[in-house]
Amino acid sequence: MSLELEFADGRDVFATEDMVLNMGPQHPSTHGVLRFIIRADGEVMRSAKADVGYLHRSIEKIAEKVGWHGFMPYTDRVDYVAAMTTNQAWAMAAEVLGGVTVPRRGEYCRVIAAELGRICSHLLAAGAMGMDIGAITPFTHAVRERELINDLLEELCGARLTFNYMRIGGVAWDLPPGFGAKVLRFLDHFEPYVDELDDLLSGNKIYIERLANVAVVSRERAIAYNLVGPNLRASGVKYDIRKHLPYSVYPEFDFEVPIGEGRHGSVGDCWDRYIVRLHEMRQSARILRQAIDGLPEGPVIAKVPRNYKPAAGEVHVHVETPRGDQSWYVVADGTEYPYRVHIRTGSFAAMAMIEELSRGLMIADLVALIASFDIVAPEVDR
Amino acid sequence: MSGYVGNIVESVTSIFDGMAVTFSHFFRRPYTVQYPDRMPVRVQDTLPYRYRGFLEVDLEICTGCLACERACPIDCILIEVLKDKETKQNLLVRFDIDLAKCMYCGLCSEPCPTGSIHHTREFEGADYSLESMVRRFVLEPTVTYKPKKAGEDDPAIVPILERGMRYVNEFAVPEAAPKAPKKEAAPAAKPAPAAPAAPAAAPEVQS
């Protein structure tokens, strides 16, 4: 027997409407000021639309006004979780335009700083992932280890977050005395710690249940959406700028590119994206050891005029940041200011994909999805 | 049914796996310190030499070259230099730094030839108004410093210049400080042959 109850105007009495829910902009688990407009049918989302732009600071436009050297501190703010790699991208772009060659020791200093920054960023990503799922302890542990790296970087360049360490032509300052030994001592402490984080989090049944088979990104979709970095590698695509479009002195180091294997579900689910970051920390530690062992002598910065005027032209450089391939398109017109700067960041591509992935997910899984993509909102908006 | 119970057992045991890690932290040394009241030494004194805290200017050795003002990407430094027509000297009449605007990038202290503008390790600057964050270093018009070819001999200025040159040299190459100044600090190396006399091992003299 079917109940056919209708209102006088013919509408079904039991018809439901989608609920529109705002998540953010000040939601604690949206990794920055970021808003999602969720259309949900009960707990199940029909779509989650990202509303970006809250953190837009027009950094690309500022570059046209402050000049080549003066823009360096601004690049710290593009992605403040891993400022070293962004520094490096800008320096590389300016160097290619001006035909400056970086001394070898300068390149090694850059690699050491960038890999420390990568560990720093991945620690925060792994910790925040646990926090978003509901495990609070890993976050405090990860941030605690991150403090040790911050102390090292503070000694190196005088700041804990916005480093401004690299310069066009090299790095600003040489490694302080005894820095290599300190990094090695930190790595001796850190490498067992990654296993500890593994024990603490990765094997937890609840954690696996929340992440495995959630928001699976297939290999084809990942490439179609132009995902980069750990997000792409978690889907089984072995693509790392450090290996495949080598820059700096990365070809001299021996390291592996971890990819997602789908240990607890399908390849490319949230759990894979988490574990790839954990493996990458181990690989960064490997690179750091090799870089400190093979540190050459010599100057750290090439001679670059204070009034830097590269020849007119354009350049497109790629750098592997913790959030993937960050590419900078810089146009110079021969003056002391860049003509145009455009940054293409990894979080931006990941953000674009969330709308497709969110269809049919639970609202609580959206938090896991954002965390697993390791989205840093200021990097999306710039 | 067995799968149902198995899931519960697995969840509980894996929680205890994690708890074992947490528990081991009861027996480790804490990383945290109780700031600011229970510190044995001031935090400022424990910071590394390169720490970029508040900017400070030693007017005694400021040459008025405006290199820092030009280097600043956000124009938080304001300097006015006047030429005294009678004595043919340059007078510094204004040297303001807006510490609220400053982003502590360190670009201004790099081109300074004498190390006059430099970062200290002070960072506690909470105040009630933005105006009070503007540091005015020139209280009355001051004659700019002129590097002497023969080296500095005024006993009042020698220690200040020494500190400044140490800052210039050590910031760039801490290990090479006792040796000859590096090429990078070339414009700075000219006016001060007596400069980097102090050993590199004493970084606490700063500020």
Q: What is the pLDDT of residues A166-224, one digit of tens each?
A: 888 888 888 888 888 889 999 998 888 888 888 777 777 788 888 888 888 888 888 99
- Please, which pLDDT band fits residue A329 given cuts at 50, 70 and 90? very high
Q: Is B106–A206 a contact, with Cβ atoms under 8 angstroms apart?
A: no
Residue numbers in B near A301 (CB within 8 A): 184
- Assess if residue A218 is contained within a domain: yes
Structural domain span for residue A174: 59-381
Residue B193, pLDDT score: 39
CA distance A205 to chain B (A): 5
CB distance B24 to B41 below 8 Å: no
Residues A24-48: tens digit of each pLDDT: 787 766 677 888 888 888 888 888 8
Q: Is A70–B106 a contact, with Cβ atoms under 8 angstroms apart?
A: no
| Total domains, chain A | 1
> B-side interface with A, Cβ within 8 Å?
7, 10-11, 14-15, 17-18, 20-22, 31, 47-52, 71-74, 103-107, 110-111, 119, 171-175, 182-184, 200
CA distance B50 to chain A (A): 5
For residue B186, pLDDT over 50 is answered with: no
Query: Which is higher by pLDDT, B167 or A364?
Result: A364
Residue numbers in B near A203 (CB within 8 A): 14, 17
For residue B187, pLDDT over 60 is answered with: no
- Assess if residue A135 is contained within a domain: yes
The CATH number given to whatever domain includes residue A90 is 1.10.645.10
Instruction: Give the torsion sign (CA, A256, A257, A258, A259).
Output: negative
Looking at chain B, which residue has its C-alpha nearest residue A66? B73
Cβ-nearest to B52 among A66, A159, A174: A159
pTM of the model: 0.81
Of the ranges A125-129, A361-365, B84-88, which one carries the lowest mean pLDDT score? B84-88
- Assess if residue A37 is contained within a domain: no
Residue numbers in A near B171 (CB within 8 A): 173
CA distance A297 to chain B (A): 12
Residue B172, pLDDT score: 54
- Helices A270-293 and A363-373: crossing angle in degrees, nearest 10, is 20
Tell me how crowded residue B207 is: count the other CB atoms within 10 A of its CB.
Answer: 14
- Helices A137-157 and A179-197: crossing angle in degrees, nearest 10, is 170
Residue B196, pLDDT score: 39
Q: Is B200–A301 a contact, with Cβ atoms under 8 angstroms apart?
A: no
- Assess if residue A156 is contained within a domain: yes
Residues A76-92: tens digit of each pLDDT: 888 888 888 999 999 99
The DSSP 8-state label assigned to residue B179 in this structure reads S
- Please, which pLDDT band fits residue B190 given cuts at 50, 70 and 90? very low
Q: Is A177–B175 a contact, with Cβ atoms under 8 angstroms apart?
A: yes
Cβ-nearest to A164 among B48, B71, B105: B105
Looking at chain B, which residue has its C-alpha nearest residue A167? B107
For residue B100, pLDDT over 80 is answered with: yes
Cβ-nearest to B105 among A67, A73, A205: A73
> Which position has the token pair 């890999």?
A115
Q: Is B73–A137 a contact, with Cβ atoms under 8 angstroms apart?
A: no
The CA distance from A40 to A16, in Å, is: 11
Angle, vertex CA A367, rays to CA A364 and CA A368, nearest 5: 95
CB distance A47 to A39 below 8 Å: yes
User: Bridge-partner residues for B98, per DSSP?
Assistant: B134
Q: Is B200–A177 a contact, with Cβ atoms under 8 angstroms apart?
A: yes
CB distance A278 to A261 below 8 Å: no
Residues A48-59: tens digit of each pLDDT: 888 888 888 888
State chain B's mean pLDDT as an integer: 75
Q: Over range B162-177, report the average pLDDT.
A: 63
Q: Which A residues 149-208 touch B at CB under 8 Å?
A: 154-159, 162, 164, 172-174, 176-177, 196, 199-201, 203-206
The CA distance from A304 to A98, in Å, is: 9
CB distance A20 to A35 below 8 Å: no
The CA distance from A198 to B21, in Å, is: 10
The CA distance from A12 to A360, in Å, is: 24
- Please, which pLDDT band fits residue B179 given cuts at 50, 70 and 90? very low
* The one-letter amino acid at B86: E
Q: Is A200–B21 a contact, with Cβ atoms under 8 angstroms apart?
A: yes
Looking at chain A, which residue has its C-alpha nearest residue B10? A205
- Assess if residue A24 is contained within a domain: no
| Range list of β-strands (E), chain A | 19-23, 35-41, 44-51, 166-167, 170-171, 313-321, 324-332, 338-344
Residue A381, pLDDT score: 83
With a CB cutoff of 8 Å and minimum separation 6, the contacts of B140 are none
- Assess if residue A8 is contained within a domain: no
Q: Which residues of B62-93 are buried (b: 16+ CB within 10 A; e: fewer)?
A: bbbbebbbbbbbbebbebebeeeeeeeebbbe
The CA distance from A174 to A176, in Å, is: 6
Residues A299-317: tens digit of each pLDDT: 888 888 888 888 888 999 9
> Which position has the token pair 């004498």?
B114
Query: What are the domain boundaries of chain B?
Result: 2-44, 45-205
- Chain A interface mutation, best of B7, B9, B17, B49, highest count of A Cβ atoms under 10 Å: B17
- Assess if residue A43 is contained within a domain: no
Q: Which CATH number among 3.30.70, 1.10.287, 3.90.550, 3.40.50 corresponds to the domain B45-205?
A: 3.30.70
Looking at chain A, which residue has its C-alpha nearest residue B21? A200
Query: pLDDT > 70: what percent of chain A?
Result: 98
State chain A's mean pLDDT as an integer: 86
Cβ-nearest to B11 among A73, A156, A206: A206
Whole-complex ipTM: 0.71
Given the DSSP bridges, would you call strands A44-51 and A35-41 parallel, antiparallel or unpaired? antiparallel
Q: Is B14–A203 a contact, with Cβ atoms under 8 angstroms apart?
A: yes
- Please, which pLDDT band fits residue B185 given cuts at 50, 70 and 90? very low
Q: Over range A252-263, report the average pLDDT.
A: 85
Looking at chain A, which residue has its C-alpha nearest residue B20? A200
Q: Over range A340-359, report the average pLDDT.
A: 88
For residue B183, pLDDT over 50 is answered with: no
Looking at chain A, which residue has its C-alpha nearest residue B110? A172
Q: Which of A282, A276, A278 is CA-nearest to residue A262?
A: A276
Looking at chain B, which residue has its C-alpha nearest residue A65? B73
